[in-house]
Amino acid sequence: MKILVTGGAGFIGSHIVNAYIGAGHDVTVIDDLSSGKMQLVNPKATFYNLDIHSPEVKTILEKEKIKVINHHAAQISVSASVANPLFDANSNIIGTLQLLQNAVSLDIEKFIFASTGGAMYGEQKTFPASEEHPCQPLSPYAISKLCAEKYINYFGTQHGLNTTVLRYSNVYGPHQNPHGEAGVVAIFCERLLKGQQPIINGDGEQTRDFVYVQDIVQANTIALNPQCSGMFNVGTGKETSVNFLTRCLVKASAIATSIEYGPAKQGEQRRSVIDSGKLLKEFGWKPGVSVEEGLLETFNYFKNQTT
C-alpha cells in the first residue's frame, strides 16, 4: 500500500513510518523539519522537506500514487498555542483542511488523523473518559484539534472519505523531543543524564494516562483496515501520577538523585485518563507495555544517544 505520513520525521510519525515499511508498505514522508529530525527518517521512505500548506503536496500525492494519508504533522505545544493561537490554527486546522480537500479530489482511500485525548476532554467529569465524554478543550491547541475533527467528520459524511481519528493520551518513548513541554519523560531523561535533578511542577499528584509509543504504532497499523473508521481513544485507561512516574524513571536510570518541586503550571489539568474500550472491543487493541517497561526502554534510548 502507498502511504503518506505527514510529520514522519517527528517523534510518533517516525515510529509509524518504520512500522509501515516493516510491514511491506511503500511510504512517503512530508516534514518541514521544524521539529522533526532527518536522522529519524527511515532510509527506505521517500522524503520531501516540505510544509503541508505547500501547493506541491497535491503534486506529490499524485506522483507517488498515494492511497492512504496518515496525518501527524502538527503544532503540538499547548503553551505555544496559548502564545500564538493564530499560528496554531493555521497549522492544525488549515493544514488539515487542505489535506482533506486534496484527499477528496484525488480519491484517497483512507485518512488517518492524530488527535488528542489528553487535552480534548478538559477537566473530566468521569474517569476514564470515553469518546462520548463532553469535549471541553482548555487550550487553543485542543480547540484546533477538535475543529480539525469536525472537518474530518464533514468530509467523511459529505464526500464519503474513509476516516479514522485516534485520540492519544500522553505518549512517551524513544525519539521524543526533550526540548519542549510536550515530553516530560524525555525532559527528565535528559536531566538525569546531565546529572541534574528532575523538577516536578506542583505537588506531583496530578495524573496522566501515559501510553508507550509502540502501542500507539499498533493502533495506527489497525487504522489501515478499511473497516476501522470513526473515532477511537488510544490510552491505557490507568492514571499515573507524575510523582510515581518520576520515581519509576529514577529507578530505571539507576542514578542516585533527589526530586525537586517547582511552581504548578497555571491552568494545568489535575486528572486525565481515557478509556480505550471501543478500540479493544472492535479491533482487539490494548496496551502491551507497562509504564515501568516503557520508561526503561526510553531511558536506555536516550542513554545510548549520549554515548
Q: What is the DSSP string of 245-266?
A: HHHHHHHHHT-----EEEPPPT
CB 179 within 8 A of CB 166: no
Report the pLDDT value the prediction gives residue 183, as an integer from 0 to 100: 85
The residue-averaged pLDDT of 24-51 equals: 97
| Confidence at 248, pLDDT banded by 50, 70, 90 | very high
Report the pLDDT value the prediction gives residue 14, as an integer from 0 to 100: 98
Report the pLDDT value the prediction gives residue 140, as an integer from 0 to 100: 94
Map out the domains of the chain with their CATH numbers.
2-169+210-234 (3.40.50.720), 172-208+238-273+288-305 (3.90.25.10)
Does residue 182 carry a pLDDT above 70? Answer: no
| Confidence at 219, pLDDT banded by 50, 70, 90 | very high
Can you tell me the distance from the alpha carbon of 24 to that of 293, in angstroms, rounded to the nearest whole number?
28
Does residue 76 carry a pLDDT above 90? Answer: no
Can you tell me the distance from the alpha carbon of 120 to that of 136, in angstroms, rounded to the nearest whole number?
6
| Confidence at 181, pLDDT banded by 50, 70, 90 | low
The residue-averaged pLDDT of 168-193 equals: 90
pLDDT tens-digit profile of 202-211?
A: 999 999 999 9
> β-strand 2-6 against 68-71: which pairing, if any?
parallel
Query: Catalytic residue positions?
Result: 141
The residue-averaged pLDDT of 233-242 equals: 98
Can you tell me the distance from the alpha carbon of 20 to that of 3, in angstroms, rounded to the nearest whole number?
8
Mean pLDDT of the chain: 96
Can you tell me the distance from the alpha carbon of 185 to that of 293, in angstroms, rounded to the nearest whole number?
13
C-alpha angle 185-187-189 in degrees, rounded to nearest 5: 70
Least confident of 62-71, 265-274, 286-295: 265-274
What single DSSP character describes residue 135? P
Could you tell me which residues come within 8 angstroms of residue 292 by beta carbon, excluding any fewer than 6 positions away?
A: 248, 252
The residue-averaged pLDDT of 118-144 equals: 95
For 4, 188, 298, the CA distances from 289, given in Å and listed in that order, are 27, 20, 12
Can you tell me the distance from the alpha carbon of 198 to that of 299, in angstroms, rounded to the nearest whole number?
13
CB 266 within 8 A of CB 159: no
CB 190 within 8 A of CB 178: yes
Can you tell me the distance from the alpha carbon of 291 to that of 117, in angstroms, rounded to the nearest whole number?
18
Report the pLDDT value the prediction gives residue 190, as an integer from 0 to 100: 95
